[in-house]
């Protein structure tokens, strides 16, 4: 049990994932009220510190997604104010939000990744920086925002990467495209309740070109199969690697690590794509679904996160 009663739920914000965050926040507000807390929603503006002081919460549930919400920025403010908060701390959030820094940590931990190049978006738009097929994506955005798959036979990358209307990060990652299946594992912990543990392996399928923003959040955009119909060893390796990634990055609370399972060649392989330190809590999100698979309701998951909240994470 916790002494926390009044909980500020940070939701919305200014990132490209604002709408997703608002959806997550609405679900969290409802769940925390059901669990007997006194939740108050805060849509961070330029006066976030004043908003927090006015709300006077005992703790903060961080339901922000994307830049400014899961990159260490808000986490630093909360630590300065000495407000206990959910999810990962400053360093883990910053590392996991920057996809190339995440890969550096993965490599150091012996986790499998594909080769990649980080460059300015204008350079990525000028011509192929590696042999197609490959992927181009912002190095510090989430929810598959701004991702392009360059396939064999494509003459050049999309011209919009160099467009004056581009409003995402100018720093892009170009990486080898991995065929196969999309798998994901949620990890919960480690904290006073015990060591980090995986919740399960989900396979994500979609009729769209890939698991993009629409596939993630539009009703019917994707189908989730849990437990994933993969060999037992692959499922075991996925869960083990997700825990290793969670611990290597220094994550707290709940994280979710995404994989590609390439079973198209003679030797199947697992490749880590990224670790999300602020996984979605929307009606179509994967973490609540995996929690339910192990007997933890959405409301119970939200309570667990609040009880896990602390400063200096």
Catalytic residue among 203, 212, 274, 307: 274
Catalytic residue among 276, 285, 298, 307: 276
Catalytic residue among 256, 260, 303, 313: 256
For the chain, what percentages of helix, strand and coil (3-state, to nearest 5) are there? Answer: 35, 25, 45
Can you tell me whether residue 102 is helix, strand or coil? helix
Q: Among this protein's residues, is 151 annotated catalytic? A: no
Q: Among this protein's residues, is 34 annotated catalytic? A: no
Q: Among this protein's residues, is 256 annotated catalytic? A: yes
Beta bridge partners of 256: 186, 276
Catalytic residue among 21, 24, 143, 169: 143
Exposure string for 193-230, b = 16+ CB within 10 A, e = fewer = eeebbbbbbbbbebeeeebbbebbbeeebbebebebeb
C-alpha closest to that of 157 among 172, 179, 142 = 172
Q: What is the DSSP string of 166-218?
A: --S-SEEEEEE---SEEEEEEEE--BTTBS-EEEEEEEEE-SSSSS-HHHHHS
Catalytic residue among 217, 255, 261, 308: 217
Q: Among this protein's residues, is 17 annotated catalytic? A: yes
Catalytic residue among 258, 261, 303, 308: 258
Q: Among this protein's residues, is 143 annotated catalytic? A: yes
CA distance 198 to 236: 10
Structure tokens at 170: 């100018």
Structure tokens at 57: 């919460």
Q: Among this protein's residues, is 229 annotated catalytic? A: no
> So which residues are the catalytic ones?
17, 143, 217, 256, 258, 274, 276, 280
């Amino acid at each position: 049990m916790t002494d926390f009663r009044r909980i500020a739920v940070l939701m919305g914000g200014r990132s490209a994932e604002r709408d997703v965050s608002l959806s997550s926040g609405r679900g969290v507000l409802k769940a925390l009220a059901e669990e007997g807390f006194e939740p108050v929603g805060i849509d961070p503006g330029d006066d976030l510190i004043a908003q927090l002081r006015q709300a006077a919460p005992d703790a903060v549930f961080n339901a922000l997604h994307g830049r400014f919400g899961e990159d260490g920025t808000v986490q630093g403010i909360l630590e300065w104010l000495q407000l206990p908060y959910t999810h990962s701390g400053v360093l883990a959030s910053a590392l996991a939000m920057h996809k190339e820094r995440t890969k550096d940590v993965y490599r150091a931990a012996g986790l499998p990744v594909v080769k990649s190049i980080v460059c300015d978006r204008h350079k990525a738009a000028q011509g192929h920086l590696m042999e197609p097929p490959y992927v181009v994506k912002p190095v510090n955005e989430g929810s598959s925002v701004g991702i392009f798959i360059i396939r064999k036979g494509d003459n050049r990358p999309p011209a919009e990467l160099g467009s004056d209307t581009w409003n995402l990060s100018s720093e892009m990652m170009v990486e080898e495209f991995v065929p196969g299946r999309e798998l994901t594992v949620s990890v919960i912990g480690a904290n006073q309740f015990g060591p980090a543990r995986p919740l399960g392996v989900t396979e994500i399928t979609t009729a769209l070109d890939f698991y993009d923003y629409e596939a993630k959040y539009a009703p019917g955009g994707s189908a989730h199969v849990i437990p994933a119909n993969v060999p037992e060893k692959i499922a075991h390796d996925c869960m083990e690697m997700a825990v290793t990634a969670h611990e290597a990055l220094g994550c707290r609370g709940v994280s979710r690590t995404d994989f590609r399972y390439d079973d198209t060649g003679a030797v199947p392989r697992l490749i880590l794509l990224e670790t999300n330190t602020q996984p979605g809590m929307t009606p179509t999100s994967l973490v609540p679904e995996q929690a339910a698979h192990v007997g933890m309701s959405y409301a119970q998951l939200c309570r667990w996160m609040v009880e896990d909240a602390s400063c200096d994470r």
